[in-house]
């Protein structure tokens, strides 16, 4: 199966995506037909410039005071706290150094305090307590239309050409405010994603769903951070009863001391085709197709913040999705293959791998009435 | 691999195509966006009524005299002659009863004579010589815009909503005139196909590309009929040098004496999900998605003819096509599987299976300047 799968990774690039690490870049928004024909239908990403230049947010959100005043009478917001910025990611469990899937500490705070935590993390010196906390506003429960509704007139409710192409309004619109330390690890979503940056920059690594086996999706024990404001320290605790989360094992940015070990553990990723790279700037929108694996880092604006809005539109569960599930169901190497490395035999067969069901997001999202009927489990993450 | 592949056949029906044998039926033409979103992008067929009611052809072509007078000064047309109506199909080779892929005898005739052959086949009594010849006008070289250009004002040059959706004009437009004995065996095309019936009815059996392994595509030696007008007899001769054509082995309509043998040879077809069925009537258009397997029979009008026009639009060689090629590259059962039946080990690995490269159509078509750059080989057949 090795040869056939490697041919698939190559062919989708040769036929459709291109052999460079760049994605298509449009200078202005496409027509709905062009968007649907050239990108959505082909499950192919693109970056669109001059897409949101008319949004008041592009200028008004550059000042913290505008945001804090606008949200001063809103209810508390949900801020995600971690010690190192990697919320919903694999981290070594302190007791034994085995990797676990760590969810952040979620705290309800007035927006002003949440924003202060985000910007002071960035600007703090190394002796301050605050630098031990990385705060990220990244609640993915349609929060822009709920917690942040006071800001709704600063952005479009939806992306008109995408709405017309996809035939429905967005299922969820989320606001993201983070700093340079916030990272989202490789995962995928069961949504068509229109990702608009308002301030700062977002840096995406993208891999098509055909590259499933290159992500080494494995089951990891679920854990959760809890943060003590008194001590300023985090504790990481395994969930009880134990729960296992299928997640991508690959960290694409290796520290020098890890390079050799990680590359030998995940050769299909590191020795195969390079991921597509894309930086999204204010005014631009990334079309991130459903089921694509993506890893996200960010660069802050002058105020230490990266701000983005994303629009999740329902995807079609069509022949592409059926083919993807078929691919998933196949092992990279036959289990009878005597040359099989140990890691390759541990693929999860979970129905919902490295997406939100992992994180309990489904309940959260459904409870708000946004999701009624999603084939193949629910999703999360930017 | 058996279990995974069977799950794919089921899932594409459960998710997208439906579990009945019917395809979607629209009462009027879709908008370009609807067509692209709900059908082309999903690689899903549909039948569209009231699609061509404005064509003058729907009334004027009911009379042979209108057609023969319109084409009276046109050059000769290419008529395909076979003894039993199965042009481009598997037939037993007389010497040894082994199946070969038989191409028809192609004869250049004035249109009036070609049409007479078609209609007299239908109406002839069993003692006449003519009943031994099944004539079919089915030249797939953009013939409606060349050999039959005198009729062009009777139909649209293209299907406007399809052209807008697909972003280009048709690559080829073909005229088909046959009778009740003309049958086209299971095959697929690398085109998006808009198939409009003008007179009589066409009966399609349709299977999605995911069902590749259910078609038992095998290599068959190429042969060609030659017809002697003097004797009124056909001779079938193997091509020299020998050439092998990958073709679908399944004949879906079994004669009682063949049922048991055929069903035991092709259990994946006969015991698996039923093909989708669709009858296309005058005024209707079938959207036959690229890469779908299709088998076509026809019922004649009162004059003994079935007349249709089909529009071939370029397909996108995108992630769906890459997935299809991946599926093709995998055996239904591992070759190491001791329970493997003999037939399952003979899958062809040809690049262009059961489409036109088999038939030398590529040269013919390219020579006319219509095809320049087709990934994955060229195509033919209705």
Q: How far is A185 from chain B (nearest CA, A)?
A: 24
Supply the pLDDT for residue A86.
Answer: 84
Distance CA B305, CA B120 (A): 10
Distance CA B48, CA B52 (A): 9
**Residue whose pair of structure tokens reads 């409870």 in the numeric block:** A367
Interface-testing mutation among B17, B19, B32, B323, with chain A (most A C-beta atoms within 10 A): B323
- CB < 8 Å to A351, chain B: none
User: Which among B32, B209, B319 has CB closest to A43?
Assistant: B319
| CB-side neighbour CA atoms (13 Å) of A187 | 28
**Residue whose pair of structure tokens reads 């004669």 in the numeric block:** B255
> What are B's interface residues with A at a Cβ cutoff of 8 A?
1, 4-5, 7-8, 11-12, 15-16, 32-34, 36-38, 40-44, 164-167, 208-210, 316-327, 329-330, 334, 336, 375
Residue contact B318–A167, C-beta within 8 A: no
Nearest residue in chain A measured CA to CA from B209: A319
Strand pairing report for A134-136 and B233-238: unpaired
Q: Which of A121, A156, A164, A52 is nearest to A306 (CA)?
A: A121
The dihedral over CA atoms of A27, B320, B167, B358, expressed in degrees to the nearest 10, equals 140
**Residue whose pair of structure tokens reads 């760049």 in the numeric block:** A22
Is residue B286 scored above 70 in pLDDT?
Answer: yes
Distance CA B252, CA B275 (A): 9
Distance CA A367, CA B21 (A): 38
Distance CA A165, CA B324 (A): 25
Contact A100, A223 (CB under 8 A): yes
Distance CA B179, CA A154 (A): 65
Supply the pLDDT for residue B124.
Answer: 44
Residue contact B37–A334, C-beta within 8 A: no
Helix (H) / strand (E) containing A205: strand A201-207
pLDDT of chain A, 382 residues: tens digit per residue: 899 999 999 999 999 999 999 999 999 999 999 999 999 999 999 999 999 999 999 999 999 999 999 999 999 999 999 999 987 899 999 888 899 999 999 999 999 999 999 998 644 444 444 457 999 999 889 999 999 999 999 999 999 999 999 999 999 999 999 999 999 999 999 999 999 999 999 999 999 999 999 999 999 999 999 999 899 899 999 999 999 999 999 999 998 998 999 999 999 999 999 999 999 999 999 999 999 999 999 999 999 999 999 999 999 999 999 999 999 999 888 655 444 444 433 344 444 567 643 343 333 333 233 332 333 333 345 5
Supply the pLDDT for residue A207.
Answer: 98
- CB < 8 Å to B16, chain A: 316-319, 321-322
Distance CA B54, CA B48 (A): 14
Distance CA B309, CA B183 (A): 16
Strand pairing report for A99-103 and A217-228: parallel
Taking residue A375's Cβ as centre, other Cβ atoms within 10 Å add up to 14
Distance CA A61, CA A352 (A): 36
Taking residue B253's Cβ as centre, other Cβ atoms within 10 Å add up to 10
Distance CA A74, CA B155 (A): 63
Confidence of residue B355 (pLDDT cuts 50, 70, 90): low
Supply the pLDDT for residue B340.
Answer: 45
CA angle A120, A125, A128 (to 5 degrees): 80
Distance CA A285, CA A29 (A): 9
Determine the number of helices (DSSP H) and then strands (DSSP E) in chain A.
10, 18
Q: How far is CA A100 from CA A104, A215, A245, B369, in A?
A: 12, 16, 9, 61
Distance CA B309, CA B56 (A): 13
Supply the pLDDT for residue B336.
Answer: 52
Strand pairing report for B24-26 and A184-187: unpaired
Q: Which of B333, B353, B352 is nearest to B343 (CA)?
A: B333
Question: Per the structure block, which two tokens stand in for B209?
Answer: 């590309």
- Map residue B239 onto helix, strand or coil: coil
Interface-testing mutation among B319, B332, B336, B377, with chain A (most A C-beta atoms within 10 A): B319
Strand ranges across the sheet with A184-187: A184-187, A293-299, A201-207, A276-280
Query: pLDDT: is B351 or B12 the higher one?
Result: B12
B133: left (phi over 0), alpha (psi -120 to 50) or beta: beta
B99, with CB counted inside 10 A (0-12, 13-18, 19+), is: middle
Interface-testing mutation among A5, A24, A38, A319, with chain B (most B C-beta atoms within 10 A): A319
Contact B93, B145 (CB under 8 A): no
Distance CA A224, CA A242 (A): 12
**Residue whose pair of structure tokens reads 């057949």 in the numeric block:** B381
Cα-flanking dihedrals φ and ψ of residue A277, to 5°? -120, 140
Contact A292, A207 (CB under 8 A): yes
Residue contact B322–A11, C-beta within 8 A: yes
The dihedral over CA atoms of A223, A224, A228, A229, expressed in degrees to the nearest 10, equals 150
Predicted confidence (pLDDT) per residue in B48-82, tens digit: 999 999 999 999 999 999 999 999 999 999 999 99
- CB < 8 Å to A328, chain B: none
What is the dihedral sign for C-alpha B157, B161, B162, B168?
A: positive
Supply the pLDDT for residue A139.
Answer: 87
Confidence of residue B381 (pLDDT cuts 50, 70, 90): low
Predicted confidence (pLDDT) per residue in B94-128, tens digit: 888 899 999 999 999 999 999 999 998 644 444 44
Average pLDDT, chain B: 87
Contact B104, B181 (CB under 8 A): no
CA angle A206, B327, A165 (to 5 degrees): 50
Lowest mean pLDDT among A96-100, A366-370, B16-20, B235-239: A366-370
Confidence of residue B171 (pLDDT cuts 50, 70, 90): very high
Predicted confidence (pLDDT) per residue in B295-335, tens digit: 999 999 999 999 999 999 999 999 999 999 999 999 888 65
Supply the pLDDT for residue B303.
Answer: 95
Sequence-ordered list of residues with C-beta below 8 angstroms from that of A139, at least 6 positions apart, any chain: A77, A78, A80, A147, A174
Predicted confidence (pLDDT) per residue in A160-207, tens digit: 999 999 999 999 999 999 999 999 999 999 999 999 999 999 999 999
Q: Note the residue count of chain B.
A: 382
- Map residue A254 onto helix, strand or coil: coil
Q: How many Å separate Cα A222 from the centre of its chain? A: 18
Supply the pLDDT for residue A121.
Answer: 65
Contact B326, B5 (CB under 8 A): no
Exposure string (b/e) for B345-365, b if CB count within 10 Å is 16 or more?
A: eebbebebbbbbbbbbbbebb
Distance CA B230, CA A188 (A): 69
Distance CA B57, CA B76 (A): 21
Q: How far is A328 from chain B (nearest CA, A)?
A: 9
Distance CA A230, CA A53 (A): 43
Contact B167, A33 (CB under 8 A): yes
Question: Per the structure block, which two tokens stand in for B260?
Answer: 């048991």
- CB < 8 Å to A374, chain B: none
Beta-bridge partners for A24 = A46
CA end-to-end distance (rounded Å), chain B: 32
């Amino acid at each position: 199966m090795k040869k056939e799968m490697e041919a698939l990774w190559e062919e989708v690039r040769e036929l459709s995506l291109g052999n460079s690490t760049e994605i298509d870049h449009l200078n202005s928004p496409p027509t709905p037909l062009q968007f649907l024909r050239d990108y959505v239908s082909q499950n192919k990403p693109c970056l669109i410039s001059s897409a949101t230049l008319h949004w008041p947010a592009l200028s008004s959100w550059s000042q913290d005071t505008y945001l804090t005043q606008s949200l001063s009478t809103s209810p508390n917001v949900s801020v995600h706290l971690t010690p190192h910025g990697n919320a919903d990611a694999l981290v070594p469990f302190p007791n034994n150094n085995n990797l676990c899937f760590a969810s952040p500490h979620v705290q309800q705070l007035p927006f002003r305090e949440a924003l202060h935590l985000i910007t002071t993390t960035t600007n703090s010196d190394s002796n301050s307590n605050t630098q031990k906390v990385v705060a990220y506003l990244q609640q993915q429960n349609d929060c822009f239309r709920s917690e942040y509704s006071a800001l709704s007139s600063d952005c479009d409710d939806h992306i008109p050409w995408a709405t017309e192409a996809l035939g429905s309004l967005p299922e969820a619109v989320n606001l993201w405010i983070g700093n340079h330390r916030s990272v989202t690890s490789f995962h995928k979503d069961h949504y068509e994603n229109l990702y608009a940056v308002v301030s700062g920059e977002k840096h995406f690594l993208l891999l098509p769903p055909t590259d499933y086996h290159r992500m080494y999706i494995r089951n990891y024990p679920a854990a959760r951070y809890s943060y003590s404001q008194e001590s300023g320290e985090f504790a990481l605790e395994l969930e009880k009863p134990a729960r296992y989360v299928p997640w991508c094992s690959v960290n694409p940015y290796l520290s020098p001391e890890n390079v050799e070990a990680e590359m030998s553990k995940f050769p299909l990723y590191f020795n195969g085709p390079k991921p597509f790279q894309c930086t999204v700037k204010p005014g631009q929108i990334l079309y991130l197709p459903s089921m694509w694996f993506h890893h996200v880092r960010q660069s802050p604006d002058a105020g230490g913040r990266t701000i983005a809005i994303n629009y999740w539109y329902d995807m079609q569960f069509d022949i592409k999705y059926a083919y993807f599930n078929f691919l998933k169901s196949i092992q990279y190497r036959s289990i009878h293959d005597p040359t099989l490395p140990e890691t390759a035999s541990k693929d999860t067969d979970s129905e919902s791998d490295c997406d939100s069901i992992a994180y309990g997001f489904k309940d959260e999202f459904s409870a708000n009435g946004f999701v009624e009927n999603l084939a193949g489990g629910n999703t999360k993450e930017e």
